[in-house]
Structure 1
Amino acid sequence: MTIDYARVPSPCYVLDESLLRKNLELIDGVQKAAGCTVILALKGFSMYSVFPIVNEYLGGATASSLNEIRLINEYMGVKAHTYMPAYLDAEFDEVLKRSSHLTFNSLGQWERFKERVAEFTNVNSASELSCGIRVNPQYSEVATDMYNPCVPGSRLGVTRDKLPDLLPEGIEGIHFHTLCENDSFTLERTLHALESRFSDLLHQAKWLNMGGGHLMTREGYDTGKLIDLILKIREKYNVEVILEPGSAIAWRTGELVSRVLDVMDSQGINVAILDTSFAAHMPDTLEMPYKPTIKGAMQEPVEGMPTYRMGGMTCLAGDYIGDYSFSKELEIGDLIIFEDMIHYTMVKTTTFNGVNLPSIGMRHSSGDFELLRAFGYESFKDRLS
């Protein structure tokens, strides 16, 4: 059963409930078999209207800002696993109240706030707040420096030479996040690097947060190996293991629906201008970069077939992705559907140039489409003053 696209506004993110549940069922199977905890990373997927569905499978979520924390509290009904590169003094008391786990990025941050943590836990003895430190194992297979937290000069996490032989009093957990849509074999090599530097501290910890980037819902991912790795780490160090994937939860669960506004010849290159924007609505395509898949199109130019460069609707010269071939010439009003546009897309949207944010909708398991949110002038205005 397909969506009646005549009912879908353009542009619009459309999440497929059945595909989301399929991913969550697989992830839940991993956490049960491995005896670990898998939580949702809001930086990759913050569509709070489906948090009740996520709640059926996962036990929590991780945040990197007070706003994300509040979204978790309000729509998932739990306290957040929180990590920020640096905590704001004015927000810290509220962060404490709203978090179950608190990871510090440096020893300096821990030293600055540890007395307030101690005061909070003394007054709120039932809070069960647990604090950790983010470490940098100095190993990552992420090719794009922008997404690699282990490059020299990285501000994310503490290297082994900066930590003492004993975990500071009050620190119970170790956190690392060096993967980005990687497989379980990459995790195996990463764990080897982690253990070679931090094995003594892992023996002292109560929990190990392996961060995100575990793309277990991608076809071909070896979940059996992931389960085996987690079981071995749990047994060797007697630690609780936490994973916080972003992409894996919403991987291939939906699309960005757009339409052609104009077609033009630009110095011998056919360009289709769309009612969406790569810079404003799909920034990862320019940042990573990668070429998104268009449903029904040939992803690379085919000689002799109608071929077009996809252009966004902003006035940024670089707001384009190309080139794709189609079975017939494009016309104004034609649908252009970008696949796999739910994770790390709607969380990064902007209103640059005053373009409207894409609407957000969902195809329910019944096949019915529901428009959940539409945006307009007020969304643009509210970001400015």
Structure 2
Amino acid sequence: MKFTELPTPCYLLDENRLVQNLAVLRDVARRTGAKILLAQKAFSMFSVYPLIREYLAGTTASGLYEARLGHEEFGGETHVYAPAYAEGEFREILEYADHIVFNSFTQWKAYGSLARAAGKSCGLRLNPECSTQPSDHAMYDPCGPDSRLGITIENFQPELLDGIEGFHFHTLCEQNSDDLVRTVAAFEQNFGQYMDGLKWINLGGGHHITRADYDVETLVHCIDYLQKKYKVQVYLEPGEAVVLNAGYLVATVLEVMHNHKDIAILDTSAACHMPDVLEVPYRPPVYRGGEPG
């Protein structure tokens, strides 16, 4: 079926391109021993989870329903992080999660004993306060001023680390491995002294690993360095990199009107179907008259 024959609006996934991305990620995992997880907040088309789980180790979730989706439809490891947990939902999350990451020592004190009693591996999200975001992404910068995401060194309480098995940080967005190197250096400066005895470190997402110009060798070196120095399991949780350039939103132009310039009226909506176009903003490539080139 050609693009012009599809009912619109619809999302179309290119399975061949998806597999190409997954092969790159699996190669990194095999070379380093790192475990790579699918960040479901970026992609949760569970109809292709059976394919993706042939390449990746599990999923990450930002709440109860993503945790359930990953556990039931994907399998493997299920990791959960949220800035704060609601007590009722947290007890149900324990049915699905393997790793649970807490955003503060307050959350750890509130729910850590429940998680440990359920046999979960518990970690803390840390804020290395190393901003690598471009200026147009400032509102999404996890290391920006007044960020709610992660524990800063000023608020770190080493006396409360008993039972913590891992650290997590997520600071990148569509970035190359040089920004990861900078972040790891900042992380080590602030928190490296507390790594002894931990089992894992999660480097978060935002790694644009499947982009053509991404420096995979630097990523491999960074993972090897952390695993050798601290004797920990390294996790990565890319989202966009899993499906980069592997899908399309197919729409129909219903009318073209003119008001100082030509304006196309579509049967789709950026607000509903491509919110990042408005929020970040992104400027997606647009193909017209049939198949993308």
TM-score (norm. length: structure 1): 0.73
Structure with more of its chain in helix, by fraction: 2
Q: Aligned pair count?
A: 291
In the TM superposition, 1:47-58 aligns within 5 A as: 47-58=45-56
For 2:270, the equivalent position in structure 1 comes to: 278
For 1:259, the equivalent position in structure 2 comes to: 252
For 1:246, the equivalent position in structure 2 comes to: 239
Q: Which runs of 5+ in 2 are unaligned?
A: none
Partners of 1:244 and 1:148 in 2: CA distance = 17
**Which residue identity does 2:283 align to in structure 1?**
K
Query: Per-residue CA shift, 1:113-172, capped at 9, x if unaligned?
Result: 122224333xxxxxxx20000000001211212211111111110001212345611111
Q: 1:91: how far off? A: 1.2
**Which residue identity does 1:241 align to in structure 2?**
V
Query: Per-residue CA shift, 1:191-227, capped at 9, x if unaligned?
Result: 1111110111123321000000010000110101100
**Which residue identity does 2:162 align to in structure 1?**
E
Give the match's secondary structure for 1:103. Answer: strand
**CA pair 272-239 structure 1, distance change in 2 beyond 3 A:** same
Residue 139 of structure 1 pairs with residue 137 of structure 2: no
**CA pair 245-91 structure 1, distance change in 2 beyond 3 A:** same
Q: 1:34: how far off? A: 1.3
2:36 to 38, 45, 53: 38
For 1:63, the equivalent position in structure 2 comes to: 61
**Which residue identity does 2:104 align to in structure 1?**
S
Partners of 2:247 and 2:115 in 1: CA distance = 41
Query: Per-residue CA shift, 1:17-57, capped at 9, x if unaligned?
Result: 11000000010000111110000000100000000000110
Partners of 2:77 and 2:38 in 1: CA distance = 12
Partners of 2:4 and 2:292 in 1: CA distance = 16
Percentage of matched positions with identical amino acids: 45
Q: Which runs of 5+ in 1 are unaligned?
A: 122-128, 297-333, 340-385
Assess if the C-alpha contact under 8 Å between 1:257 and 1:338 holds in 2: no
For 2:92, the equivalent position in structure 1 comes to: 94
Structure with more of its chain in strand, by fraction: 1
| Higher CA-based Rg | 1
For 2:285, the equivalent position in structure 1 comes to: 293
Give the match's secondary structure for 2:282. Answer: coil
Residue 16 of structure 1 pairs with residue 14 of structure 2: yes
Assess if the C-alpha contact under 8 Å between 2:105 and 2:160 holds in 1: no
TM-score (norm. length: structure 2): 0.95
**CA pair 156-192 structure 1, distance change in 2 beyond 3 A:** same
Q: CA RMSD in A?
A: 1.6
Partners of 1:284 and 1:13 in 2: CA distance = 16
Partners of 2:284 and 2:37 in 1: CA distance = 27
**CA pair 28-167 structure 1, distance change in 2 beyond 3 A:** farther
**CA pair 79-217 structure 1, distance change in 2 beyond 3 A:** closer
Partners of 1:115 and 1:215 in 2: CA distance = 36
2:153 to 143, 154, 160: 160
